[in-house]
Amino acid sequence: MHNFVSLMLFTFTAQAAIGMVLVNNALLAAGYVSTSEKILIRSRHLVSLLLIIALATAFFHLGKPFRAVYALSNVCRSPLSMEIASLSLLLAISLADSWLSMSSGMNTVKRVVPFLSVVAALLLLVTMTAIYLIPAVPSWHNFRTPLSFALTAVSGGTAVIAILMPEKEVKASRRLLLVAACSALLLMSPTITLNLNAPAPRSALVVIQSAILVMALIMIIPNRPSRKMNKSYHSAVISGTLVLLSVLIARLLFFLSYDNNIL
């Protein structure tokens, strides 16, 4: 069971980081933020932190933690080695990106690094997906696995970026949260399908996940102008947190679907 917990945390943190990289660079390409804005700098630091956490949790489901480093020894033939190598590559680029965001000069390098981070993020998402397309596990060996991984990245990453938005950008934060919540709703489709014949406790988790998302949407959709900016901002932060919680439950349900005898 402890392996499921480490796998859940690994995929959740890594995929949230992937989503943040993609959303960050989409906002940058659209001209919504500049490379010097605090929101972008903070999010780059958080991407690095999430990837470090993901790498740390990976040691707990790669056999013996102190020998897990040998997972990198077979990159060319092992999907697991490729996953860890892709994660390490994205982490290295993210750390470089964080350092560059706080330094002056090197403008040419600063323009290239975001592109490299997007490529590395997509590579990590593909390698993560490949590992779980296991013929021996029918509940995972289908299109729902890549769909759920992609939606986790979009919903999780977008929600984190929305939470990091400053108070004065609460309207933009709400728009991002709407995207995150809608992605989380789509994520529920493969989650529900995977747990149609699940035991009662797991079905209860699906109900809880649905209720959490409904609460998040209630706090986003009305979007009535509030006289107190901080009230609207706090509701956006709470809504984003609820979206992240629903995504985390979806990850848990994915791994529990491996065996109906669990939970």
User: pLDDT under 50 in the chain at which residues?
Assistant: 1
Q: pLDDT for 53-84, tens place per residue?
A: 998 888 776 655 555 555 555 555 677 778 88
Distance from chain centroid for Cα 140: 19
* Rounded Cα–Cα distance for residues 95 and 205 (Å): 36
Residue 17: per-residue pLDDT: 96
Q: What is the pLDDT of residue 194?
A: 61
Query: What pLDDT sits at residue 1?
Result: 47
Over the range 23-58, which residues count as b (16 or more CB within 10 Å of their CB) and which as e?
bbbebeeeeebebeeebbbbbbbbbbebbbbbbebb
Q: CA 178, CA 173: separation in Å to the nearest integer?
A: 9
Single pTM value for the model? 0.86
pLDDT at residue 259, rounded to an integer: 61
Cα-Cα-Cα-Cα dihedral sign, residues 3, 251, 94, 42: negative
- Residue-level pLDDT at 63: 56
| Residue 230: Cβ-neighbour burial (10 angstroms; 0-12, 13-18, 19+) | exposed
**Under a CB-based contact definition with an 8 Å cutoff, are residues 87 and 43 in contact?**
no
